[in-house]
Amino acid sequence: MKGTSVNHMVLRLVALLAICSSAFTASAEECPVTPAAVISTAGDTNGLGSLSQAFVVPPGYETMSGRVRFLSSEWPTWYGTEYNDTYLVRLTAPGKSLVLASGNVNSSTWTAGVLGFNGKAPEKNFTADLSALVGKTASIQYEVRDVGDLLVDSGLAVDGIKVIRTQQYVPAGGGTLNSNSTISGAFGQGVKLTFKNLNVLGTSIQVADKSPFGETKGVILLPQQSVTFHFSRFGQEPMSWNFDVSTNADAFIVGYSIESTWVQGMPNNPCY
Amino acid sequence: MNVKGVVWKLLWILALLPVLCSATEYDAVKFSLENTDIQAIAEHDGSMWIQLSPPAASRLQTITAQSYGKQLIVDIDGISVFSARIYSTIESGVIQVDNPSPDVRRRLERLRSLR
């Protein structure tokens, strides 16, 4: 028998381990990860369960992925009827709206359920390209909707939502130097400094990492010639770097660019 | 039932146990250092800095080149010093330990005094 029921949206947050051991297969995680959750229609006046999370897309992290599993008690009794509950996962950002996953009871295949639901559909993985959204705020929304009744509930288990690192080195600034100078900042484990001689005369250039045990690297640059020096140390990111750039040449004009494995806006390493 | 086969399987599982346990659940790799792997230790801005010996630096370079994105756990004489994800091949053989615990700091200071 179908009918109306209790009234407000219930959002059940379930511990990661509980979800991993029941709704999903466990796997190694990569940070940042949203804790697992179950969005349910249970108790909502409008038969809608929803959850959304906003996040700023960090530099160098241009893909996101996650997985969902549709859960429903409409199956098996109300499978193939008008009680065709639905779910939707959507990514929105300025100028972008993208459906990442969607489905309904009648279009899903079902096996015995978990977490109090009669049935569970297969896990569905999704990915999204975030390359146009670096530095912008995006939002991921999950919705489960009762169709035809408010009595028999459906849910959506959400897990493994992560923004995935796609670039090792990210631009971290640059400029022009015309005398001995210092380049410093909060960067990552690896820093690449690229210098280009902008002068019509050749020049010497030396770069000294001023940290303990820091290396010094140098070269003679012909006009318009470029060189990239790579500095590295292992540690937690961000880390402080200080470079002295010097020359013996009387005329010194170089352009430089910095690339690093960590720049402002990226999550700290390690992230917990 | 083939008892001999079961015993062999059990022996294989027991033999593989340490290998299975060393691959941690978070896909981490361990970088273990001994006293002889450390060439110098310095303290600067509240951090401890370790300069590895050339063979240990070469090991660090190899492990960081092969394990991009994985968590690297640094331990010295069995004591876990810190961990971070690997995002660069480390060619310099330098490790920076931020905010070392009192225990780790004592261990590193003792190692420094032995140099």
| B72 in contact with chain A, both atoms CB, cutoff 8 A | yes
Q: How close B5 comes to chain A (CA, Å)?
A: 31
Q: Which domains are assigned to chain B?
A: 25-114 (3.30.1360.200)
Q: Do β-strands A137-145 and A48-56 pair in parallel, antiparallel, or remain unpaired?
A: antiparallel
Query: Do residue B49 and residue A232 have CB atoms under 8 angstroms apart?
Result: no
Q: A111 near A117, Cβ under 8 Å?
A: no
Q: Which residues of A touch B92 (CB under 8 A)?
A: 213, 215, 231-233
Q: In what order do the strands lie in the sheet with A239-246?
A: A181-187, A239-246, A203-209, A216-221
The dihedral through the CA atoms of B13, B17, B23, B26 has a sign that is: positive
What pLDDT, on a 0 to 100 scale, did the predictor assign at position A46? 82
- The CA radius of gyration of chain B, in Å to the nearest whole number, is 18
Contact B83 A270 (CB under 8 A): yes
pLDDT reading at B6 higher than 70: no
Which pLDDT tens digit goes with each residue over B53-86? 999 999 999 999 999 999 999 999 888 999 999 9
Give pLDDT, residue A27.
41
* Token couple for B67: 């394990």
pLDDT at A124: 96
Higher pLDDT, A75 or B10: A75
Domains of chain A as residue ranges with CATH: 11-164 (2.60.120), 170-260 (2.60.120.510)
Q: How far is B92 from chain A, CA to nearest CA, in Å?
A: 6
Count other C-beta atoms under 10 Å from residue A14's C-beta.
18
pLDDT at A11: 30
Cβ neighbours of A255 (radius 10 Å): 14
**Pair A127, A63: CB distance under 8 Å:** yes
Question: CB of B94 within 8 Å of any CB in chain A?
Answer: yes
Closest-CA distance, B83 to chain A, in angstroms, reads 7
pLDDT number for residue A15: 28
- A211 in contact with B at a CB cutoff of 8 Å? yes
Between CA A167 and CA A153 the distance in angstroms is 42
What percentage of chain B carries pLDDT values higher than 90? Answer: 63
- Give the residue on B whose Cα is nearest the Cα of A210: B44
What is the reported pLDDT for B3?
53
- Sites in chain A below the pLDDT cut of 50: 1-22, 25-29, 33
Amino acid A270: pLDDT: 92
Which comes out higher in pLDDT, residue B26 or A159?
A159
Query: What's the complex ipTM?
Result: 0.79
Spatial contact of B63 and B20, defined as CB atoms under 8 Å apart: no
Chain A residues closer than 8 Å to B84 by CB:
189, 234-237, 269-270
Q: CB–CB of A168 and B68 under 8 A?
A: yes
